[in-house]
Amino acid sequence: MENPAQQGIDGPTVGLCGPTVGLYDPAFEHDACGVGFVAHIKNQKSHAIVEQGLQILKNLEHRGATGYDPLLGDGAGILIQIPDGFFRAELAPRGIDLPPPGAYGVGMMFLPPNDASRRACEAAIERTIRYEGLKLIGWRDVPRDNSGLAAMAREREPVIRQVFIGWEANDAANDRAALERKLFIVRKASGHAIQALKLPDVKMFYVPSLSTRTIIYKGMLLANQVGEYFLDLQDERVDSALALVHQRFSTNTFPTWDLAHPFRMIAHNGEINTLRGNVNWIRAREHNISSPLFGEDLEKIWPLIYDGQSDSASFDNALELLVMGGYSLPHAMMMLIPEAWAGNPLMDEDRRAFYEYHMALMEPWDGPAAVAFTDGRQIGATLDRNGLRPARYLVTDDDLVVLASETGVLPIAEERIVKKWRLQPGKMLLIDLEEGRIISDEEVKHTLAQAKPYRRWIEQTRHYVDAMPEVVSAEKLGAPLLDLQQAFGYTQEDLKFVLEPMAVNG
């Protein structure tokens, strides 16, 4: 049976979070997913981390949901670092020699099952790769076992392939950040080109990840199906120093393969209540945004957020743009999910100035949210200012950090635990794998608040009404004030309870 929200007499109406039919609007829906990660502080890669990530996922299964078929999951997935040795061994028999780590990117691609549509999508991707001055290294079919999936999940199952991309010229091979930005452009530009083809099954095209650092295995799966469906994850050669996992409870949008988490940089539990305003502001600012790092490539990104994306997907798009544009990962997260700073008398003035300055650049993405984030080099999590979503973490004596929506997601002996705590409202946990240490919330925010003279910038641009020159109006009222107020619908309640308190209290 078709999903009733996909139908209608005149076809579906697409709202911010998906199709709307009759009185149903998915923009009013909410969710409560399971999110977690495990990471080795010293960046030591192993297959054990991948296995532990999958174990966390299985232990969060109760936070997801199933459909009418108990095998039909709302979506689950895992994000890991690129297993370089595994891919080299897999591609070598085909005569493909990968560049050094960091000089190539791997894209996980969801493609339409229809051969003609799939070839059209692949051709558009390859054209974009060449146009952007990059080189197509090769394609790889992702081995899968769909025997355990529900019938509905198999009906909507995409073809899943991996694409390998490197620099066309070797002299640019060392600029990893530039390649990461180029891959971002390739993904956005090829996506726009494929949308323009208007293929009948274009909605089955999606790029879960395209990066030099991370790769994502996800789908419309149950938590325990992820490791069984993707055979790569069972291979001992697939190693990583981090594993970010998510079990979805899809009430914000309907379950689909592409809306499973993790997204490219985040996994999210909660909802963004200010989503419509956030998306509208980004769209309003698209033509005023500039970047010396992107240059003319920036125009290829728009629209940044498509209609029909979930709140988490939209948030991920905004975070990705900020990070690709030069902001550090914690800096971008502080912009998007700020602390409660305006009325906090205990907050350091430099940090308050940081938030006040960035308030003019980016509206907060507010809502009860716990967000885990990573770029493959750093991994962390933050809570919104109200702290209504749970996130608990522990650190072991052998340099593991485990964070999840609840405790007990991994069987770790109590004597191995050196610290156990919870994320607090507005606070951030950050692990820098390249530096090999946990960076405290205080250190992260103090460093960023001191990086620029935000207090001086605010003072230079702040103007008070009392300091403005008085202007005597030459206009005369054409009728008594009371008559004008009545004509325009003002009431005593408006004056007493709205206007007067605003004037008196500012």
Catalytic residue list? 33
CA 6 to chain centre: 25
Using DSSP's 3-state secondary structure scheme, residue 145 falls into coil
Single-letter amino acid, residue 30: H
CA distance 290 to 323: 14
CA distance 70 to 152: 11
Secondary structure in 3-state letters for 209-270 = EEECCEEEEEECCCHHHHHHHEHHHHCCCCCECEEEEEECCCCCCCCCCCCCCCCCCEEEEE
Distant-in-sequence, close-in-space partners of 175: CB < 8 Å, separation ≥ 6: none
Residue 328: both structure tokens together: 């550090």
Angle at 347 between CA 341 and CA 352, to 5 degrees: 50
Which element (helix H / strand E) includes 167?
strand 159-167
What values do phi and psi take at 469, rounded to 5? Answer: -65, 140
Range list of H helices, 294-404? 311-324, 329-336, 349-359
Residue of 278, 286, 288 whose CA lies nearest to 313: 278
Single-letter amino acid, residue 147: S
CA distance 354 to 332: 12
Judge residue 147's burial from the number of C-beta atoms within 10 Å of its C-beta, 0-12 exposed, 13-18 middle, 19 or more buried.
exposed
Residue 113: both structure tokens together: 């099952």
CA distance 76 to 54: 10
